[in-house]
Structure 1
Amino acid sequence: MLEILALNDNNIESLPSGIFTYLHQLQSLYLHGNRLKMIQSNLFNGLTKLVRLNLANNTIESLQTGVFRDLQQMKELYLHGNKLKVIQVDLFSALLNLKNMKLGDNMIESLPSDVFRYLPQLKKLWLYGNKLEEIQIDLFNSSTKLEKLFLHDNFIDSLPSGVFRNLHQLQELYLHDNNCTVIQVELFHGLSKLKKLSLNNNSIESLPSGVFNLSSLSYLSLQFNMFKTLPSALFKDLVSLEELRLDGNRLTEMPIDIFHQFNGMTLEVLTLRSNKIARLFPYQFSNLTALTFLDLKDNHLEQIHSKSLYGLTKLKFINLRKNSLTKITKDSFIGLALQNDSYITLADPAMCCFLEPSNRSQCVPQNKKSPYLTCKQLLPSAAVKCCTWIFGFCALFANIVVFIWGCQQIKSESQGEKYVKQIVFITNLALADLIMGLYLLLIASVDQYYHEYFPSYAKHWRRSMFCKLIGFLSVLSSEASLLLLTLIAVDRVWGFRKNLIRHKLFGQKTQIILSTFTWVIALALSIVTVIFNDDQLYQFSDVCIGLPLARSKIYASNYTNFTISYDFDIPDDHFWLQRFTEIGSKAGNYFSIGIFLGLNFLLCLIIAMCYILLFIYICKSGFALMKTDLKMSIKMGAITLTDLMCWLPIIIVGILAQTGVKELSPEWFPLITTFALPINSVLNPFLYSTVDQVSKHFVHRLRPNCYTEETTL
């Protein structure tokens, strides 16, 4: 005999009366997914052994009283996904053994208070997705065995006290996605076995203390309501609570003792994301000794006070992304004991620096980690800080002296006095080196300002206009200096070659024109560094100069499921971690490589070749040379040597990094940018005077016929 009949997912529009009359042994009848609009009142007559009837996902608009009169053995009835508007009071009067009934996703606007009185065995009732605006206080009086009740996705704006008073066996109650604004203090009283309660996506503004007198409750969702604050004693009776969800409200802070009022030995999951929480109190979570999952994402937290996370000894995952955290220090995570399988997510990789060194590998930042990140201050040690200040002052004031002296010499020459060769170049070189001294002092000042807080401000600092201004000065100084030294080298070679056949050096006007052209080029290159945003040029550089000392790539983000999974009812609440895949280089990186590795390498090569030729001219020429020319050439050669000492290490390290041969440890980057880069700017003004003594000694060792006494050009 036929026991199961499946006619589901067809295009059946109607069924004639008596079609099932002789199927006396039928137990399961599946008619869901058709186009049935009406059910004949005697359609199921004779199906006395039917225990399961599925009429879901049709277009049924009404059901006549008596349609289920022979279905006394029915245990499961599915009517969801139809267009039912009205339920007759006696419609289910014959279903004395019914245990599960789905009436969800219909158009029911109200239910008679006695509609469920003939369903004493009912355990699961689905009324979600209708148009219910109110619930009669006596609606569930006879449903004493009800275990699960689904009332979500309706238009319920209030629930009378006592509506659930007889539901002593109720374990799960879903009231989310309604219009509730007020919850009566006695609404849930008597629900001693309730384990799961969902009130999210309502319009509740406040809750009275004592409303959750639910000793068996393990899951409570209050997400996406309108709470601005919560009573300190709100959760004091929730002695079995394991998961508390408070996301998407308007909470500005949690009362300091709100988690001290109940037994925190059971709470494992606490989510507070998308609120307006601006601060956490010390020892706020200290009572939550069993907590494994804490979500504080997307709040207004600017700092984490010392010991705010104290006592979280079993925490496996904490999410602090999308906050305004800028005032984090090493004291912020005191008392946070991360286990080997624990993780903490933060927006900026620099924030991971304030964790204990043993826990930093368990920090998962939202953004990719910079290879320049060392978890130290802007200038990493006292020695570097001290040297930066000294170098900055030396470069600034010594070059000011040389610049003033050069201006006086130019003025004297214009008045017909003795002309100092290459004085225009020397004066402009002093100006370029002076700017480098200013750059060093600004970097040292910023380091002093941020001090130990710098890692938490690093991202904001790199994006600031002040950082771009400092970067502008560093590029302007370094490129102008290198271009001027190239001109000096070419000028000396050209001058010596012409002097050998009695020609003169470049005159003052020519030097002025060439110097002006040099500053135009350096200025143009510097302006480009301001046009590029920080993610293109300064993405890795805290000292605001985009030296290509590490490979810079574009990263495409993708998400992988977090290894710690929780069985949340709402799929959107699963956590995913952002990973990065390298897909290509940025335009800013190409610019940095082209300037600092391409152009500067070419200029250094020209300088080296010029002075090799100059040395050859001096030692092998059979012509008489002026003593002053020889001294000046030795002096400028020493100055140029310091410039090569500055740029060659940077160029070599950059080429090795960009070709993937070898990348230096990030700890070396501040040393390179604060020591190697400005070395020539610091030494040049001193070389103007000290090299004279060396050059005199070298001149006297040459053959007497290698030079003659100085003559006026």
Structure 2
Amino acid sequence: MVQFSFFVLPLCFLFNSRKIDNENIKTLQNDSFMRYINLESLYLEDNKLTTIHPGTFSGLGNVHWLGLMGNRLQTLDGGGICHDAPSIRWLSLGNNKISTIEPHAFDCLSQLSDLNISLNPLQSMDEDVFEGLDRIKSLYVYTIYYTDFSTAMFDNTTNLDHVYFSKFRYCNFALHVRHCEPNSDGISSLEHLLARGVLRVCVWVIAVLTCTGNTCVMIGRSLMKHENKVHSLFIKNLCASDLVMGVYLIIIGTKDVVYRGIYNRHALEWKESFGCQFTGFLAMLSSEVSVLLLTYMSVERFLCVVFPYRDRRPNVRQAAVVLIAIWLTGFFLAFSPLIGHGLGYFDSFYGNNGVCFPLHLHQPYLRGWEYSAFIFLGVNFTSLLIILSAYTGMFISIQRTRRSIASSFTTYVGQATNGWIPDIQRKNLRTTALSGSMYAWIVIFILPINSAINPILYSLTTRTF
């Protein structure tokens, strides 16, 4: 074991800075620095220190800068730092192995203005962990994926001016801080729910097109007579599911207007509210019902083309049973996280971002990611394979005289499923997080655009059916 005492150091009363890096120091003896009464800066970085005992820094009453980065400290109780060097203004504890910070660990450091505890596997911190740090101005807690931050932790840090978190959503717990980093997750910023102006325009344009187009198709198909009532029934239900996506976009657009310029004050309240949970439920319901409907319709088209003379085709009653089953399945998939909300696993499933959509592409391993993977890799990917297989088989078996019919219908189904293909591919590569800005485009534009385009496809490409 490599030990370190004041006898190793030259006796000096004039040095005001000392740097002892990469010396493989594992233990510091008590009173090691008693002779360094004038020392103002001490750097013990990149050593192998595991514990700071009370008395280790005795005599360092004038030290203002203390660097302990890159060691192997595991628990911080403050006893070896707080009482021995109460005049510290800059303390760096980053890149250690600190998993626990004991309550009141920094109580005696009333002069501390800069604290760095980044790059530590923190698992336990008391709500009063920063109590007593009345003068702290900068706090570095980046690359820490501690999930139990709370507003109470920062209540006493009234002079805190800069804080550096790992994730944008943690800024919601320190609302009084003037400069919080990162200041955006690509979707939202400290000021706005939708950070970019082009997203604000897109959300309203697509919402209006989606609601207007699908409503018109539903009304039109209800008033007009069709030879194939079963197919018309499925089209109207597909319109209804797309219309739900339009409602989702209107809610997001409205909340963006309400919180314009003051979003960070209400971000935590919004994401934890029932309104956000319900909004996410609508988006999930719409997407899953649409995918399941398209899957069934693709299989039915395959059977019609490959076996044109089969006798057993679904009538209106049978179609109604299938539709009820599809809506109930979509409802169950979307509603399950609401049932589990408050039980731990699903607590932030819909509220992990401001748009309340749980695709989990920008932060792949958030709580509930397994369920998200089940939905988008299990259910949706399986549906996509069935749709592609159905149309591959259809083109192999189709007669030449009916090729134009199948081609037109494939255009409609292909367009409707096209938005899911890149998302499923990205979900498969979830080990690499998608940027927040790309995630915003997927949720606001790529997925909903199918709901806006579908009414046109219904009118132009499905008259034959």
User: What TM-score do the two structures reach when normalised by structure 2?
Assistant: 0.61
Quickly say closer, same or farther: Cα 1:298–1:600, change in 2 above 3 A.
closer
Aligned to 1:119: none
CA deviations over 1:592-642 (Å, ceiling 9, x no partner): 110112110010111111112222233xx37x65xxx953x3343222112
1:389 aligns with 2:204: yes
Equivalent residue of 2:442, what SS? helix
In 1, Cα distance between the equivalents of 2:161 and 2:296?
A: 61
Q: Does structure 1 conserve the Cα–Cα contact (< 8 Å) formed by 2:161 and 2:178?
A: no
Q: SS where residue 678 of structure 1 aligns?
A: helix
User: Which runs of structure 2 are paired with 1:83-482 in the superposition (5 Å)?
Assistant: 292=113, 315=137, 322-323=151-152, 348-350=170-172, 360=181, 375=190, 377-409=192-224, 412=225, 418-420=227-229, 422-482=231-291
Going from structure 1 to structure 2, the CA distance change for 1:373 and 1:613 (only over 3 Å counts) comes to same
Contact 2:185/2:436, CA 8 A, preserved across alignment: no
- Displacement of 1:550 in angstroms is 4.2
Structure 1 position 461, deviation (Å): 1.5
How much has 1:504 moved relative to structure 2?
6.8
How far the C-alpha of 1:336 sits from its partner, in A, is 7.8
Distance 2:329 2:139 in 1: 52
Q: Name the counterpart of 1:549.
A: 361
Aligned to 1:281: none
Structure 1 663/292 Cα, relative in aligned 2: closer, same or farther at 3 Å?
closer
CA 1:601–1:517: 2 relative to 1, 3 Å: same
Instruction: Report the AA paired with residue 526 of structure 1.
Output: A
Contact 1:370 1:540 in 2 (8 A): no
Q: Does 1:532 align with 2:340?
A: yes
Q: Secondary structure at the residue paired with 2:269?
A: helix
SS in 1 for 2:194: coil
SS in 2 for 1:535: coil
- 1:649 equivalent in alignment to 2:422: yes
The residue type equivalent to 1:668 in the other structure is M
Which residue of the partner structure matches residue 325 of structure 2? 517
Matched AA of 1:398: G
Closer, same or farther: CA 403–529 of 1 in aligned 2, 3 Å: farther
Distance 2:293 2:181 in 1: 46
Supply the distance in 2 between the matched residues of 1:549 and 1:600 (Cα, whole angstroms): 15
In structure 2, distance between residues paired with 1:420 and 1:344: 57
Offset at 1:407?
A: 2.7
d(CA) in 2 for partners of 1:379, 1:496: 45
CA gap 1:324/1:463 in 2 versus in 1, 3 angstroms:
farther
For the structure 1 residues 674 and 355, does the alpha-carbon distance in structure 2 shift closer, same or farther, using more than 3 Å as the test? same
Q: Report what 1:498 is aligned to.
A: 307
How far residue 451 of structure 1 moved from its aligned partner, in angstroms, is 1.6
The aligned amino acid for 1:589 is W
**Higher alpha-carbon Rg:** 1
Q: How much does 1:443 deviate?
A: 0.7
**Which residue of structure 1 lines up, in the alignment, with residue 461 of structure 2?**
691
Following the alignment from structure 1 to structure 2, what is the Cα–Cα distance between the partners of residues 437 and 684? 12
* Partner Cα distance (1:536, 1:605) in 2: 30
Q: Deviations over 1:224-260 (max 9, x none)?
A: xxxxxxxxxxxxxxxxxx99xxxxxxxxxxxxxxxxx
Equivalent residue, structure 2, for 1:254: none
- The letter of the residue matching 1:322 is T
Q: Post-superposition shift, 1:452?
A: 2.5
- In 1, distance between residues paired with 2:139 and 2:334? 45
In structure 2, the residue matched to 1:582 is none
Paired letter, 1:378? L
CA spacing shift, 1:469–1:429, aligned 2, 3 Å: same
Q: Deviations over 1:523-561 (max 9, x none)?
A: 11121121232535135332112113145547xxxxxxx
Please give the alpha-carbon distance, in whole angstroms, between the structure 1 residues aligned to 2:177 and 2:198. 25
Distance in 1 (CA, whole Å) between partners of 2:138 and 2:283 is 45
Q: Which amino acid aligns with 1:672?
A: I
Alignment check: 8 A CA contact 1:494 1:505 kept: no
Describe the SS at the equivalent of 1:653: helix
Tell me which amino acid in the other structure corresponds to 2:314: F
- What is the CA–CA distance in structure 2 between the aligned matches of 1:347 and 1:544, rounded to whole Å? 13
What one-letter code is carried by the residue in structure 2 that aligns with 1:690?
L
Q: What's 1:636 paired with?
A: 409
Distance apart, 1:459 and its partner CA: 2.4
Distance 1:395 1:435 in 2: 9
Fraction of identical pairs, as percent: 26
Structure 1 residue 434: Cα displacement: 0.6
Alpha carbons 2:187, 2:194 under 8 Å: kept: no
Q: CA 1:636–1:325 in 2, change beyond 3 Å: closer, same or farther? A: farther
**Amino acid across the alignment from 2:295:** T
Q: Which runs of 5 or more residues in structure 1 are unaligned?
A: 1-241, 244-268, 272-289, 300-308, 327-332, 364-368, 555-585, 696-709
Task: Summarize deviations over 1:659-710 as a string: whole Å, max 9, x none.
Answer: x2x3221221111111111121110001122337xx9xxxxxxxxxxxxxx9
Could you tell me how far 1:498 is from its partner in structure 2?
2.3
CA 1:522–1:543: 2 relative to 1, 3 Å: same
Q: Secondary structure at the match of 2:372?
A: helix
Structure 2: gaps (5+ residues): 1-86, 89-107, 116-125, 129-133, 142-148
Match of 1:680 in 2: 450
Does the residue aligned with 2:436 lie in a helix, a strand or coil?
Answer: coil
The Cα shift of 1:467 comes to: 0.7
Letter in 2 for 1:480: V
Please give the alpha-carbon distance, in whole angstroms, between the structure 2 residues aligned to 1:614 and 1:521.
Answer: 27
Q: What TM-score do you get using the length of structure 1 for normalisation?
A: 0.41
2-structure distance, mates of 1:531, 1:488: 30
Q: 1:353 to 1:322 in 2, by over 3 A?
A: closer
In the alignment, what sits opposite 1:600? 380
| Structure 2 Cα separation of the partners of residues 607 and 540 of structure 1 | 31
Decide whether the 8 Å contact of 2:384 with 2:417 is kept in 1: yes
Q: Answer 1 or 2: higher relative contact order, Cα 8 Å, separation at least 6.
A: 2
Quick one: distance in 2 between partners of 1:407 and 1:324? 58
Q: For 1:494 and 1:502, locate their aligned partners in 2 and report how far apart those are by CA, in whole Å.
A: 8
Aligned residue number for residue 47 of structure 2 = none
1:29-87: CA deviations, max 9, x gaps? xxxxxxxxxxxxxxxxxxxxxxxxxxxxxxxxxxxxxxxxxxxxxxxxxxxxxxxxxxx
Structure 1 residue 324: deviation in Å?
10
Q: Aligned partners of 1:504 and 1:318: how far apart in 2? A: 68
Cα distance between partner residues in 2 of 1:458 and 1:474 = 19
For 1:670 and 1:353, locate their aligned partners in 2 and report how far apart those are by CA, in whole Å: 24
With over 3 angstroms needed to count, the CA separation of the structure-2 counterparts of 1:596 and 1:484, relative to structure 1, is: same
CA distance in 2, matches of 1:398, 1:427: 12
Cα RMSD (Å): 4.3
- Count, aligned residues: 333
Question: What is the rounded CA distance, in whole Å, between the counterparts of 1:453 and 1:381 in structure 2?
Answer: 15
> 1:605 corresponds to which letter in structure 2?
L
Change in 2 beyond 3 A, CA 1:318/1:502? closer
